[in-house]
């Protein structure tokens, strides 16, 4: 038997051993650890992203609320210095509108926080479900020409070709 045929035979046997013995062991022993690590990393990324997004939106809305509150104070000052009752009343009405706008921005922050929490919770649940439903046991299979492939795809996971060392 030539060394090329022997190498190919050994390679095919290795792939078969991997699919039948090593991969199931990886699924039973290593996958639960990897799964926990993937979940933890995903939670950290999602939490950090959610917090940064919330803080950005909150600071944006608070800046708007502060601007509206400033406008309300200025309108109150104009009301106090108005020369007529009509002008004073008009400025008090403007001040009230600006206070309502400021309050609306504050309330929007509260609603935004609740909605972001809901989205985060739903996303985490969907991610966990997708990960739990991943059929890892059958993810790797023996393909044509002694290749490993992802289940149901033509994507070959090529191992390095066996090479002979020449001395």
- Edge-to-edge strands of the sheet including 148-150? 140-142, 148-150, 156-157
β-bridge partners, 156? 149
**pTM for the model:** 0.58
Residue 143: which domain range?
3-157
pLDDT band at 132 (very low <50, low <70, confident <90, very high): confident
Model pLDDT, residue 1: 63
For residue 26, how many other CB atoms are within 10 A of its CB? Answer: 16
Task: Report yes or no on 13 lying in a domain.
Answer: yes
Number of domains composing the chain: 1
Task: Report yes or no on 164 lying in a domain.
Answer: no
pLDDT at 156 over 90: no
Model pLDDT, residue 158: 61
Q: Count of H helices and E strands in the chain?
A: 4, 3
Task: Report yes or no on 162 lying in a domain.
Answer: no
| Mean pLDDT for all residues in the chain | 84
- pLDDT for 26-48, tens place per residue? 888 888 898 899 989 998 998 89
Residues recorded for the chain: 167
Task: Report yes or no on 81 lying in a domain.
Answer: yes
Task: Report yes or no on 165 lying in a domain.
Answer: no
Task: Report yes or no on 57 lying in a domain.
Answer: yes
Task: Report yes or no on 52 lying in a domain.
Answer: yes
Task: Report yes or no on 129 lying in a domain.
Answer: yes
**Nearest one of 157, 165, 123 to 141, comparing CA atoms:** 157
**Nearest one of 32, 5, 15 to 157, comparing CA atoms:** 15
pLDDT at 99 over 90: yes
């Amino acid at each position: 038997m030539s060394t090329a045929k022997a190498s190919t035979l050994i390679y095919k046997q290795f792939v078969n051993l991997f699919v039948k013995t090593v991969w199931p062991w990886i699924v039973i022993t290593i996958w639960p650890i990897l799964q926990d690590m993937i979940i933890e990393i995903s939670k950290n990324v999602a939490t950090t992203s959610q917090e940064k997004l919330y803080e950005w939106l909150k600071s944006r809305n608070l800046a708007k609320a502060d601007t509206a509150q400033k406008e309300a104070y200025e309108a109150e000052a104009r009301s106090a210095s108005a020369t007529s009752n009509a002008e004073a009343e008009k400025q008090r009405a403007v001040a009230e509108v600006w206070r309502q706008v400021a309050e609306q921005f504050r309330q929007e922050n509260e609603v935004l926080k609740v909605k972001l929490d809901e989205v985060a919770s739903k996303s985490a649940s969907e991610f966990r479900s997708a990960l739990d439903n991943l059929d890892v046991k059958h993810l790797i299979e023996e393909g044509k020409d002694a290749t490993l492939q992802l289940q149901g795809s033509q994507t070959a996971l090529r191992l390095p070709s066996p090479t002979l060392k020449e001395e």
